[in-house]
Structure 1
Amino acid sequence: MFSPITEQLRYLLKKADDFQSYLLYSRDRVQKEQLAKAMPTFLQMCEPYFLYLEAAARSIPPIYGALQELVRKGLLEISQQLTLRLEQLVLMYASFGFVNLEETDPLSISCFFCGRFSISPSHEVSIFRYCAPAAYTASRFPRYLYKKMRWNLETIPGPSGRGQDSHVEYFFCCSAITSHSRGGTPEGLSVPAPAPPPRILCPQPPGDYQQLLTIGFEEPSHILATDLLVQILTGQAGPARPPSTAGPAAWAAQGS
């Protein structure tokens, strides 16, 4: 069952290795710059694969019946493996100055697409991974939050809503770094509402902040973070906590 899937994984990992080898061992700077320009194309080439992995593993209703849980685990582990390899590759090119990670630059590679799946006939979730922690700037409070992952929740109008546009909300997995964060940085799931656009093109975009969950001091895996969000969205994790009104210190303290 997994043979064609693992073959495609090996192919994409080999392409990533080629990108890395040219960066480390080639003396031709022009060639390195050309490869850096090709990086977004390579990431886009991985998108259909991510689409299949996440949709087959997470979409409701399940498509593999009794084997769904076994298949789900295998597909998500493959998705996570490729995600971390691509993140490592982008960071390596950035460390050599060939790739920009600044989110305010439309030409940067601050994050990349990691798949999409449905949680209901009218709701789809898209996954994005930040290559490096990106400052959360959508509201004045809480400050000192850094985005690690983003999920776009798209609500698609049903037949009765013909003519209406789809609605998108943005959820984040953030790390809180404050003077109260002793020995670690609390990780949490949050949602700003109204949500800012994926590309933040102004110094202080509008938006309200609502904390949904404090995870702890260890950064959750790619799989776990999405699992937790799905539980919240589908009501399996109980009601979300109300937004904090005490500022960033209270957010950090809740994780301690």
Structure 2
Amino acid sequence: LLTPVTEKLKYLLKKAEDFQTYLLYSRDRMQKEQFAKAVPTFLQMCQPYFEYLESTARSYNSGLGALQASVRKRLLEISEQLALRLEQLVLMYSSFSFVSLEDTDPFNVSCFFCGRFWLSEWRQLSVFRFCISTPYRAARLPGNLYKKMRWNLDFLEEGAGAGGRRRGHRTEYYFLCFRDTGRENAVKMQKLWSIGRWVPLDPDTEHSSDVLQWVLCLQPTGDFQPLLTIGFEEPSHTLATDLLVQILS
């Protein structure tokens, strides 16, 4: 099981190294720009691999029993290793102004997909990682809240329609955030980490399905509902997801 997974990791890490090498040592700016345009494609190329790692390690029906706990641990270590390497690569290209990390830029690569797995037959969790700490724009909270990870929790729902049985879905959004609790004149941030849920305010998608509300809304607003305070040490990519899974169990 682990041999082909490890070989694939080596291949992807080598590709990331190639991207970095061309950026740092190539004197041809046109070539650098071409590689920069390929960065989002490379991130997409890693998506099936991330999904395999997370799904095999975490899905309720993956078939990995207690006797294979070491395999699960290794799969998640590989997933985190690749995620950190991709984050480093994106940050490097951003430092040379070849890619944008701004949320308002439609071509930004501020976050990337890190896997998907099933919590149950009807609940699927997708993992995303922000390359930099991004302001969490909450309606009623001060502006010192920053997001580092996002999880999309999709609920598949079956119901009866005019044409018989149909399947729909709704999505909830969870975030790993930190709040700067330091004093205003402090040189270094004092980061208090927590996991919470995005609570929509306008449009209120939890109580209304009116599409017109979305059409007329210039920018959706919501709040941050804290679910777990972690502490002042940033949790690893894997631990943060473990904690959310415990919350949702």
The TM-score by the shorter chain falls in which range?
A: 0.7 to 0.9
**Map of 2:197 onto structure 1:** 191
Moved more, 137-146 or 92-101: 137-146
**Amino acid in the other structure paired with 2:25:** Y
SS in 2 for 1:153: strand
1:20-39 matches, within 5 Å, as 20-39=20-39
1:209 paired with 2:224, answer yes
Distance 2:224 2:15 in 1: 39
Aligned to 1:10: 10
Q: Distance in 1 between matches of 2:7 and 2:202?
A: 38
Pick one of 214, 227, 247 that aligns with 2:242: 227
Q: How does 1:13-162 map to 2 (within 5 A)?
A: 13-158=13-158, 162=165
Q: What's 2:209 paired with?
A: none
Structure 2 counterpart of 1:214, one-letter code? T
Query: Of residues 170, 187, 191 in structure 1, which corresponds to 2:173?
Result: 170
Specify every segment of 5 or more residues in structure 2 that has no aligned partner in the other structure, as ranges. 204-216
Partner Cα separation in structure 1 for residue 131 and residue 114 of structure 2 = 12
Return the structure number with greater strand share: 2
Q: Distance in 2 between matches of 1:22 and 1:67?
A: 44
C-alpha distance 94-16 of structure 1, shift in aligned 2 (>3 A): same
Contact 2:200-2:220 at 8 Å conserved across structures: no
Q: AA paired with 1:116?
A: R
Q: Which moved more, 1:143-152 or 1:67-76?
A: 67-76
Contact kept, 8 Å, 1:62 with 1:68, in 2: the verdict is no
| TM-score relative to the length of structure 1 | 0.84
Whether the aligned pair in 1 keeps the contact of 2:158 and 2:167 (CA below 8 Å) is no
RMSD: 2.2
- The SS at the match of 2:221 is coil
Q: For the Cα contact (< 8 Å) 1:54–1:79, is it kept in 2? A: yes
Task: Return the offset for 1:68.
Answer: 3.4
Equivalent-residue separation in structure 2 for 1:155 and 1:89 (angstroms): 33
1:186 is paired with a residue of what secondary structure? strand
Q: Distance in 2 between matches of 1:196 and 1:128?
A: 24
CA offset at residue 180 of structure 1? Answer: 5.0
Task: Map Cα deviations across residues 34-58 of structure 1 (whole Å, 9 max, x no partner).
Answer: 1111101000000000000000000
Give the match's secondary structure for 1:156.
strand
Q: Which amino acid aligns with 1:170?
A: Y
Q: Secondary structure at the match of 1:35?
A: helix
Aligned 8 A contact 1:173 1:188 in 2: yes
Contact 1:101 1:108 (C-alpha < 8 Å) held by counterparts: yes
